[in-house]
Amino acid sequence: MGIKLFRKKSMAEVGAHLNVHPFDIARYYGQREGGLPLELMFDTADVAKIADGMRIEFWWSGEFSTTDDNYSRALICELARKILQADLSKATRSDNLCRGLEGEDYRLIMKAVNTLIMIEVLQSVATSDGVDVELAEGKRELLEAIADGSNIPTELQALM
């Protein structure tokens, strides 16, 4: 336990911790009454309030393991399961769907989210925070088929 435990975080450090650009945090504060705080240093409670206010959720945590011989297919099926568990009848930030992943896994899931929007399984909603997504009406069965791997649309198969 050192002095770092009690040190406040800069906006860049908060952005890195929450996996958002520091500009997004500035925009969040800019849209609130009172605007940016005078001191741009944040403690743990501030970071939690920022995450809550920006609707940030980490959908992926820890290592992802699978027995599927096609890792990309397993990752896309897991995304579909996570969407079903999250009940996207209410919109969520689109970047939540890949938050917690890195590198190629992050890029694959971001492409899969964009593909799900393109094939109208997810519906995009423009907000002041960026793009939100919600499950399109009547697409739950298709999403369930993607989750269990029984019916993966060709557009998603192309990513595998």
Domain spans of the chain, in order of start: 7-53, 71-157
Mean pLDDT of 79-103: 90
E-strand ranges in the chain read: 9-10, 41-42, 92-93, 122-127, 130-135
Q: Tell me the sheet residues that pair with 101.
A: 99
Asked if residue 35 has pLDDT above 70, the reply is: yes
Sign of CA dihedral 64, 100, 138, 85: positive
Assess contact for 112 and 148: CB atoms under 8 A. no
CB count within 10 Å of CB 122 equals 25
Task: Write down the mean pLDDT value for the chain.
Answer: 90
pLDDT band at 1 (very low <50, low <70, confident <90, very high): low
Asked if residue 2 has pLDDT above 80, the reply is: no
How large a percentage of the chain has pLDDT more than 90?
A: 70
125-143: per-residue pLDDT in tens?
998 878 999 999 999 999 9
Mean pLDDT of 29-45: 87
DSSP symbol at 133: E
Assess contact for 118 and 79: CB atoms under 8 A. no
For residue 132, the Cα-to-chain-centroid distance in whole angstroms is 10
What is the CATH code for 71-157? Answer: 1.10.10
Q: Tell me the sheet residues that pair with 138.
A: none
pLDDT band at 67 (very low <50, low <70, confident <90, very high): confident
- Amino acid residing at 158: A
pLDDT band at 4 (very low <50, low <70, confident <90, very high): low
